[in-house]
A and B are shown apart, each in its own frame.
Chain A
Amino acid sequence: MAQHRWWVVALVCAAHAAPPGTVAGGPGAARGDFAEALEPRRFEFPRDHGPHPAFRQEWWYLTGNLDAAGGERFGFELTFFRVALLPRSDRPATDASAWRAREIYMAHFAITDAARRRFVFQQRLSRSALGLAGAQSEPFHVWLDDWSLEAAPSAPIGAWELHAAQPGYAIDLTLEPQGAPVLNGQAGLSRKSARAGDATYYYSIPRLSVRGRLLREGRTLELNGLAWLDREWGSGGLGASQVGWDWFGLQLDDGSSFMFYALRQRDGRRDALSAGTWVASDGTVRALADADVSIAVTDYWRNGSGERYPAAWRIRVPAVALEIAVHPVLAGQELRTTPPYWEGAVDVSGNRAGRALGGRGYVELVGYAAERRPAGAGGADTQLHSR
Chain B
Amino acid sequence: MSVLRAASVRHLLRHPAQLLLALLGLSLGVGTIVAVDIATASARRAFELSLQAVNGAATHQVSDGPGGIDERLYTGLVTAPVDGGLEATRYAPVVAGYVSVGEHVLQLLGVDPFASAGLDAGAAHGAPALALADVDELRQWFTRPGAVVMSEALSRELGVSTDQPFELEVGGVRHTALLIARIPDADAGPGFDALLLTDIAQAQEWLGLQGRLTRIDVKAPADMPPEEFVRALRSRLPADLAVSSTRAQARETFAMTDAFTINLKAMSLLALLVGTFLIYGAVSFAVVQRRSIIGILRALGATRAEVLAVVLGEAALLGIAGALCGMALGLLIGRGLVHLVSRTINDLYFVVAVNAVSVPAATLLKALAAALATALVGALLPALEVVASPPRLALARSVLELRARYSARVLLLASVLLALAAALAIATSTRSLLAGFAALFLLLLSVAAATPAALQALAAGAARIASAFSTTTRLACADIAASLSRTGVAIAALGMALTAMIGVAIMVESFRESLLEWLVQTVRADIYVSAPGIADSLERRLDPDVIAALLAVPGIAAHSEARRVTVGSPAGALELNAVRLVPASYAGFHLISGDPARAWPQFRRGAILISEPLAWRLSLRTGEQLTLQTDSGPRAFAIAGVYREYGNERGEVLMDLGQYRRGWHDDAIAALGIYLAAGTSSAQALSALRTAAQGRQALLIRSNADIRALSLRIFDRTFVITRVLYWLAAGVAAVGLLSALLAWELERSRELALLRSLGLTPAGTAALILVQTVFMGLAALLAAIPAGLLTAVVLTDVINRRAFGWEIGLHLRPAQFSQALVLALATALAAALYPAWRSGRASLAAGLREE
Checking B72, B80, B88, B200 against A97 with a beta-carbon cut-off of 8 angstroms, the contacting residue is B200
Interface residues of A in 120-167 (CB under 8 A from B): 124-127, 129-132, 143, 145-146, 163, 165-167
| A17/B135 in contact, CB under 8 A | yes
Query: Complex Cα distance A95/B211, Å?
Result: 10
**Minimal Cβ-Cβ distance residue in B for A93:** B205
Q: A97-B205, A376-B132 are in contact. Are A167 and B88 (CB under 8 A)?
A: yes
Q: Is the CB of A18 within 8 A of B78?
A: no
Q: Does B645 contact A (CB under 8 A)?
A: no
Q: Tell me if B406 is interfacial: C-beta within 8 Å of chain A.
A: no
Alpha-carbon separation in the docked complex, A266 to B448 (Å): 88
A22 and B140 contacting across the interface, CB-CB below 8 Å: yes
For the complex, give the distance between the alpha carbons of A22 and B72 in Å: 31
A379 & B71 in contact (Cβ 8 Å cutoff)? no
Q: How far is the CB of B211 from the nearest CB of chain A, in Å?
A: 7
Q: How far is the CA of A318 from the CA of B303 in the complex (A)?
A: 113
Roughly how many angstroms separate A296 CA and B211 CA in the complex, as a whole number? Answer: 57
* Residues from chain B with Cβ under 8 Å of A101 in the complex: 142, 201
Within 8 Å CB of B210, what residues of A?
Answer: 95-98
Q: How large is the interface on B (under 10, 10 to 19, 20 to 34, 35 or more residues)?
A: 35 or more
Q: Which of A95, A100, A165 contacts B81 (CB 8 A)?
A: A165
Within 8 Å of chain A (Cβ to Cβ): is B136?
Answer: yes
In the bound assembly, the distance between CA atoms of A35 and B204 in angstroms comes to 32
With A99-B201, A145-B78, A146-B81 as contacts: A11 and B135 at CB distance below 8 Å: yes
Q: Is the CB of B87 within 8 A of A167?
A: yes
B747 within 8 A of partner (CB): no
Among the stretches B111-119, B186-194, B464-472, B594-602, the one at the interface with A is B111-119
Q: Mark B205-243, 1 if CB is under 8 A from A, else 0.
A: 100001100000000010000000000000000000000
Give chain A residues whose Cβ lies under 8 Å from the Cβ of B385: none
Per-residue 0/1 for B155-191: is the Cβ within 8 Å of any A Cβ (1 yes, 0 no)? 0000000010000000000000000000000000000
Contacts of B202 in A (CB 8 A): 97
Q: Does A377 contact B (CB under 8 A)?
A: yes
Known interface pairs A22-B144, A377-B128, A378-B114; A95-B205 also in contact (CB < 8 Å):
yes
| Chain A residues near B71 (CB-CB < 8 A) | 98-99, 130
Q: Which of A22, A97, A131, A379 contacts B139 (CB 8 A)?
A: A22
Flag whether A19 is at the interface (Cβ < 8 A): yes
CB pair A22–B143 under 8 Å, yes or no, is yes
Distance in angstroms from A216 CB to nearest chain B CB is 12
Q: How far is the CA of A19 from the CA of B145 in the complex (A)?
A: 14
A164 to chain B, nearest CB (A): 10
311-353 of chain B: CB within 8 A of chain A: none
A326 to B204 CA separation, bound complex (whole angstroms): 53
Inter-chain contacts of B619 with A (CB < 8 A)? none
Per-position binary interface string of chain A over residues 4-23, scored 1 when its CB falls under 8 Å from any chain B CB and 0 otherwise? 00000001111001110111
Interface check A38, CB cutoff 8 A = no
Determine whether A381 belongs to the interface, using a CB cutoff of 8 Å to chain B. Answer: yes
In the complex the two chains form, is A85's CB within 8 Å of B204's CB? Answer: no
Scan residues 1-51 of chain A and give those whose CB is less than 8 A from a CB of chain B. Answer: 11-14, 17-19, 21-24
Inter-chain contacts of A145 with B (CB < 8 A)? 78-79
> Which of B87, B134, B204 contacts A165, CB < 8 Å?
B87
- Say whether A180 faces chain B, with CB atoms less than 8 Å apart: no
Chain A residue at smallest Cβ distance from B114:
A125
Report B62-120 residues with CB < 8 Å from chain A CB: 71-72, 75, 78-83, 87-88, 90, 112-118, 120
Q: A13-B139, A163-B81, A379-B129 are in contact. Are A98 and B211 (CB under 8 A)?
A: yes
Given A18-B136, A98-B210, A375-B134, answer yes or no on A380-B118 (Cβ-Cβ < 8 Å): yes
> Does B121 sit at the interface, judged by CB under 8 A?
yes
- The reply to whether B129 and A381 form a contact with Cβ atoms under 8 Å apart is no
Interchain CB contact under 8 A, A97 and B201:
yes
In Å, the complex CA distance between A18 and B114 comes to 20
- Beta-carbon contacts under 8 Å, A355-387 to B: 374-382
- Given A99-B112, A167-B87, A167-B88, answer yes or no on A378-B79 (Cβ-Cβ < 8 Å): no
Known contacts: A376-B132, A377-B117, A380-B118. The answer to whether A85 contacts B205 by CB under 8 A is: no
- Chain B residues lying within 8 Å of A21, measured Cβ to Cβ, are 163
Would you call B631 an interface residue if the criterion is a C-beta within 8 Å of the partner chain's C-beta atoms?
no
Q: How many residues of A contact B (CB 8 A)?
A: 47
Which B-chain residue is minimally distant from A377 (CB atoms)? B117
Does chain A have a CB within 8 A of B396?
no
Please, how many angstroms separate the alpha-carbon atoms of A374 and B181 in the complex? 14
Contacts of B115 in A (CB 8 A): 126
Bound CA–CA A24/B345 (angstroms): 45
Q: Are A14 and B142 in contact (CB under 8 A)?
A: no
Determine whether B612 belongs to the interface, using a CB cutoff of 8 Å to chain A.
Answer: no
Do A23 and B145 touch across chains, with their CB atoms under 8 A apart?
A: yes
Separation in Å of the B85 CB from the closest CB of chain A? 10
B199 within 8 Å of A by Cβ? yes
| Distance of A317 from chain B, by nearest CB (Å) | 38
Shortest CB-to-CB span from B56 to chain A, Å, is 11
Residues of B within 8 A of A125 (CB): 114, 117
Q: How far is the CA of A23 from the CA of B180 in the complex (A)?
A: 13
Which residues of the partner chain A approach B117 to less than 8 Å between Cβ atoms? Answer: 125, 376-380
Shortest C-beta distance, A307 to chain B (Å), equals 21
Q: Which of A22, A99, A100, A102 has the most CB of B within 10 A?
A: A99
8 Å CB contact of B138 from A132, A375, A381, A382: A375
Residues of A within 8 A of B120 (CB): 379
Q: How far is the CA of A173 from the CA of B585 in the complex (A)?
A: 67
Residues of chain A within 8 A of B112, CB atoms compared = 99, 127
Give every chain A residue within 8 A of B72 (Cβ-Cβ). Answer: 130
Instruction: Tell me which of B114, B134, B145 contacts A126 (CB under 8 A).
Output: B114
Q: Are B143 and A104 in contact (CB under 8 A)?
A: no
Most chain A CB within 10 A, of B112, B115, B139, is at B139
A127→B121 contact, CB < 8 A: no
Given A12-B139, A95-B205, the answer on whether A127 and B132 have CB atoms closer than 8 Å is no
The reply on A273 being an interface residue by CB < 8 A is: no
**Nearest chain A CB to B47 CB, angstrom units:** 26
Whether A99 contacts B199 by the Cβ 8 Å rule is: yes
Q: Which residues of chain A come closer than 8 Å to B592, judged between CB atoms?
A: none
Q: A380 — which chain B residues lie within 8 A by C-beta?
A: 90, 117-118, 121
The answer to whether A14 touches B75, judged by C-beta atoms less than 8 angstroms apart, is: no
Give the Cβ gap from B188 to chain A, nearest Cβ, in Å. Answer: 16
Is B763's CB within 8 Å of the partner chain A?
no
- Asked if residues B79 and A131 are in contact (CB atoms below 8 Å), the reply is yes
B388 interface residue (CB < 8 Å to A): no
A324 within 8 A of B: no
| CA gap between A170 and B87 in the complex, in Å | 10
A86 within 8 A of B: yes
* A104–B135 CA distance with the chains assembled, in angstroms: 12
- Determine whether the beta carbon of A127 is less than 8 Å from that of B114: yes
Whether B133 is near chain A, meaning CB under 8 Å from some CB there, is: yes
B374 to chain A: closest CB distance in Å? 54
Cβ of B132 and Cβ of A14 under 8 Å apart?
no
Q: Which residue of A lies closest to B208 (CB)?
A: A95
Closest chain A CB from B51 CB (angstroms): 21
CA distance A104 to B806 in the complex (A): 55
B142 touches A127 (CB 8 A): yes
Contact among B82, B138, B140, B204 for A377, CB-based, below 8 A: B138
Determine the distance from Cα of A11 to Cα of B144 in the docked complex, in whole angstroms: 18
- CB-CB under 8 A from A14, the residues of chain B are 134-136, 139
Contact of A12 among B121, B138, B200 (CB under 8 A): B138
> B121 near A143 (CB under 8 angstroms)?
no
- Between A and B, 18 residue pairs with Cβ closer than 8 Å are A14-B134, A14-B139, A17-B136, A19-B136, A99-B71, A99-B204, A102-B143, A104-B142, A130-B71, A130-B75, A131-B79, A146-B81, A146-B82, A377-B138, A378-B114, A380-B117, A380-B118, A381-B121
3 interchain residue pairs of minimum CB distance: A379-B117, A99-B201, A377-B117
Give me 5 other A-B pairs in contact (C-beta within 8 A), A125-B114, A376-B132, A377-B138 excluded: A12-B139, A100-B201, A146-B81, A377-B116, A382-B121
A-to-B contact residues, CB < 8 Å: 11-14, 17-19, 21-24, 85-86, 95-102, 104, 124-127, 129-132, 143, 145-146, 163, 165-167, 170, 374-382
